[in-house]
């Protein structure tokens, strides 16, 4: 007899979306702070339509200046704007990247630099670093875009039949039609089949699958569904430190409470249940923790959690009544011996009905990583397990505001979950390409760990999976001081210097979170092996020079 499901998320504790049409609420909301009137703003009015106006100090309404000309403050200022948006930071595309782009421009304009190219090792973008797309996928997508090519004999038959099938499920047989907000039906069915195969037969209902605009879209949507409450009852979400900064950005934007649990660097970034407990107990004093986010394989840390660990986490979430968000976008990126990807769903179901009937789990996948690396398509899906039906109805409404995910991304996801089968014309080449890509990544993961560990003052955990190394760096006191004087995080200071001197763009560990007093950087393992080797040696040189300079 399965346990009665006491939903964490019920229609009673989820912000409801719809109210009556044209509703005007009587009375104000329950917020604490009063709306402040626009105060003096020292910023200039910015580019004007006609000739640029002179900079003026704006007053709330209007003021007569000396020559009798009226001036006015903006309607939308940093004081009147949504305060939660001001808390949003996203290091992966943050200030260091903006500087890298500037340097690229300067280089192209012929300015002399100590390097000949800027290497963007900051972002998990495989194609940007030369990884090749899977031929079959691109063939099918080209056929879908311009179906006249179905008459072209240079395209294999299996690609053509896939294209026809996809086009049939598109309105007007065109990828240019909107699809249902949840995604094309036949694609969701294929995703469900893939999940069943991957998880050794654990059933998957296509109704539980939502196609998304990249995994990020799904993650933010679920967080939106979760966040409610005020003050001490405000939703708290547990997130690993270090974490992928989309989570912290989304939580900041939603005004949710971020609950940090620290991964254990000494134990290869593993999760510690006692640490989860500590974080949760502390958080319960000032917020209402409702969810636990896990990234496996990890970003930025690259650890691949053991099956036991995943079981323990599930048990913890069940006992503490937390919704589990499992970010599994790197599920094919597993390199280390003895490591294996275990999906949260599979483990959940293997734990029996006491857990599999009750634990609310959402798992996320994407077309941006693994062996496909198709970031630019913005393709992804999420699987919703054990969610209350009424909440699911709210979720369906929420996703409809986006209209639909990009159709080429949906089509690509269909191919990812349904690749060429043995016997089909494209099968052998597909396997070859996938193997080449994944083994190159494995090689580069190993190389990165090896070289970084030869550097005095740098220590790197094995890169078990994903696409990044997250080594710990020792920064000399003098440098820390100089950074503080500049108002910069020490590892940002370090990374900025590295960028200016070597052209290598990394993301400082402070962008991901780290234990106080420790410093890291995140560097992708994506550049081609020979370039990666050069990069790693440059990092070594720089680190030695930097350490020397600030000793």
Partner 1 sequence: MKQLVLARRASQIKVELTQRVRKPYKEVIDVSWGDPHKAGVKPLSFVRQVIAACLYPQLLNSDRLPVDVRQRAQSLLKGCDGGSVGSYTATRGISEIVHRVSEFITRRDGGAPSYPENIFISPGSQWALRNILNVLVNSEASHRTGVLTPMPCYSVSLMSIRGLGAVTVPYNLREEQGWELQVEELHRALESAKGVCDPVALYVINPGNPAGYVQSRKSIQEVIQFVSEKRLFLLADEVYQDCVHGENSEFVSYKRVLAEMGPPLSDTVELASFHSASKGFLGECGLRGGYVELVNLDPAVKKYIYKLFSTDACAPVLGQFALDLMMKPPQPGDPSYPLYSVETQHIRTALVHNVKRVLEVVNNLPGFCCQPVKGAFVFPRLHLPPKAIQKAKEMGMQPDAFYCIRLLEEASVIVSPGCDYGQKEGTHHIRFHIMTPEDTMEEVLRRLSSFHTQFMKDFS
Please report, as residue ranges, which positions from 332 to 391 form the binding site for partner 1 (by CB under 8 A): 372-378
User: Among residues 55, 177, 308, 549, which is the contact residue for partner 1, using CB under 8 A?
Assistant: 177
**DSSP alpha helices (H): ranges in 3-134?**
95-108
Q: Which is nearer to partner 1, 313 or 395 (CB)?
A: 395
Please choose, out of 1-9, 69-77, 437-445, 502-510, the segment that lies near partner 1 by the rule CB under 8 A.
69-77
Binders of partner 1 among residues 216 to 235 (CB under 8 A) are 216-217
Which residues on neighbouring strands pair with residue 508, listed in sequence order? Answer: 521
Considering the rule CB under 8 A, would residue 76 count as an interface residue with partner 1? yes
Interface with partner 1 (CB under 8 A), residue from 119, 175, 505, 539? 175
Q: Does 53 bind partner 1 (CB under 8 A)?
A: yes
Any idea what DSSP says for residue 75?
A: S
Look at residues 487, 510, 508, 495 and name the one whose alpha carbon lies nearest to residue 542: 495
How far is it between the farthest Cα atoms of the chain? 84
CA distances, 411 to each of 126, 184, 369, 415, 424 (Å): 20, 9, 16, 7, 19
Q: List the one residue from 55, 84, 450, 529 that touches partner 1 (CB under 8 A).
A: 84
- Separation of alpha carbons 413 and 237, rounded Å: 29
- Least CB distance from residue 191 to partner 1, whole Å? 18
In the beta sheet, which residues pair with residue 326? 294, 363
Q: Which of 304, 381, 327, 317 is nearest to 348 (CA)?
A: 317
Please state the φ and ψ torsions of residue 233, each to the nearest 5 degrees: -100, 10
436 binds partner 1 (CB under 8 A): no
Stretch that binds partner 1, among 35-43, 352-360, 420-428, 473-481 (CB under 8 A): 35-43
Is the sign of the CA dihedral 62, 67, 69, 72 positive or negative? negative
Residue 90 touching partner 1 (CB under 8 A)? yes
Mark the segment that binds partner 1 (CB under 8 A) among 232-240, 318-326, 394-402, 437-445.
Answer: 394-402
- Concatenating the DSSP letter of every residue in 490-528 gives HHHHHHHHHHHHH-EE-EEGGGT---TT-EEEEEES-S-
Residue of 119, 223, 246, 466 interacting with partner 1 (CB under 8 A): 246
The reply to whether 31 sits near partner 1 by the rule CB under 8 A is yes
32 binds partner 1 (CB under 8 A): yes
Q: Select the span of 48-56, 111-119, 232-240, 272-280 touching partner 1 (CB under 8 A).
A: 48-56
Site residues for partner 1, 117-136, by CB under 8 A, read 120, 123, 125-131, 133
By CB under 8 A, which span of 311-319, 396-404, 449-457, 507-515 interacts with partner 1?
A: 396-404
Q: Which of 102, 106, 152, 389 binds partner 1 (CB under 8 A)?
A: 152
From the list 175-183, 261-269, 468-476, 486-494, the region that binds partner 1 by CB under 8 A is 175-183
Rounded to whole angstroms, what are the CA distances from 443 to 49, 253, 526? Answer: 55, 38, 11
Window 261-300: residues binding partner 1 (CB under 8 A) = none
116 token code pair:
């000949």
Q: Which residues contact 538 (CB under 8 A, 6 or more apart)?
A: 502, 504
Q: Name the minimum Å distance from CB 478 to partner 1.
A: 32
């Amino acid at each position: 007899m399965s346990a009665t499901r006491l939903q964490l998320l019920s229609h009673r504790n989820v912000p409801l979306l719809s109210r009556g049409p044209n509703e005007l609420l009587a009375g104000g909301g329950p917020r604490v702070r009063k709306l402040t009137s626009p105060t003096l703003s020292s910023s200039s009015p910015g580019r004007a339509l006609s000739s640029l106006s002179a900079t003026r100090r704006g007053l709330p309404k209007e003021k007569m200046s000396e020559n009798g000309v009226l001036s006015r403050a903006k309607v939308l200022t940093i004081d009147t704007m949504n305060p939660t948006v001001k808390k949003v930071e996203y290091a992966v595309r943050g200030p260091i990247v903006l500087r890298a782009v500037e340097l690229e421009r300067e280089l192209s304009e012929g300015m002399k630099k100590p390097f000949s190219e800027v290497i963007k090792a900051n972002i998990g973008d495989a194609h940007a670093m030369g990884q090749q797309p899977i031929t079959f996928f691109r063939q099918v997508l080209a056929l879908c875009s311009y179906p006249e090519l179905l008459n072209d004999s240079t395209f294999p038959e299996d690609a053509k039949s896939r294209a026809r099938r996809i086009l049939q499920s598109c309105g007007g047989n065109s990828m240019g039609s909107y699809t249902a907000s949840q995604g094309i039906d036949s694609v969701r069915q294929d995703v469900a089949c893939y999940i069943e195969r991957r998880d050794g037969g654990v059933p998957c209902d296509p109704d539980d699958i939502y196609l998304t605009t990249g995994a990020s879209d799904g993650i933010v949507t679920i967080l939106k569904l979760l966040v409610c409450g005020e003050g001490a009852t405000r939703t708290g979400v547990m997130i690993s430190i270090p974490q992928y900064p989309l989570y912290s950005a989304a939580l900041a934007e939603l005004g949710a409470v971020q609950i940090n649990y620290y991964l254990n660097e000494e134990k290869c970034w593993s999760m510690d249940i006692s640490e989860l407990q500590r974080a949760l107990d502390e958080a319960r004093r000032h917020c209402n923790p409702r969810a636990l986010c896990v990234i496996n394989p990890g970003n930025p840390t690259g650890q691949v959690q053991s099956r036991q660990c995943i079981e323990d986490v599930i048990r913890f979430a069940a006992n503490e009544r937390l919704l589990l968000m499992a970010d599994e976008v790197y599920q094919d990126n597993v390199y280390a011996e003895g490591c294996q990807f275990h999906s949260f769903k599979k483990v959940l179901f293997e734990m029996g009905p006491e857990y599999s009937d009750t634990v609310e789990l959402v798992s996320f996948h994407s077309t941006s990583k693994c062996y496909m690396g198709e970031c630019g398509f913005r393709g992804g899906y999420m699987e919703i397990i054990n969610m209350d039906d009424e909440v699911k109805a709210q979720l369906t409404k929420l996703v409809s505001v986006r209209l639909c995910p990009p159709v080429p991304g949906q089509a690509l996801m269909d191919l990812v979950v349904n690749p060429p089968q043995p016997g089909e014309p494209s099968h052998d080449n597909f396997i070859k390409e996938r193997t080449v890509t994944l083994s190159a990544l494995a090689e580069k993961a190993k190389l990165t760990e090896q070289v970084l560990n030869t550097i005095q003052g740098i220590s790197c955990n094995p890169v078990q999976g994903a696409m990044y190394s997250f080594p710990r760096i020792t920064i000399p006191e003098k440098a820390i001081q100089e950074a503080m004087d500049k108002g910069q995080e020490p590892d940002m200071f370090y990374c900025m210097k590295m960028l200016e001197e070597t052209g290598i763009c990394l993301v400082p560990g402070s962008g991901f979170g780290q234990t106080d007093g420790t410093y890291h950087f995140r560097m992708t393992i994506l550049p081609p092996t020979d370039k990666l080797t050069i990069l790693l040696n440059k990092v070594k040189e720089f680190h030695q020079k930097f350490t020397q300079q600030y000793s």
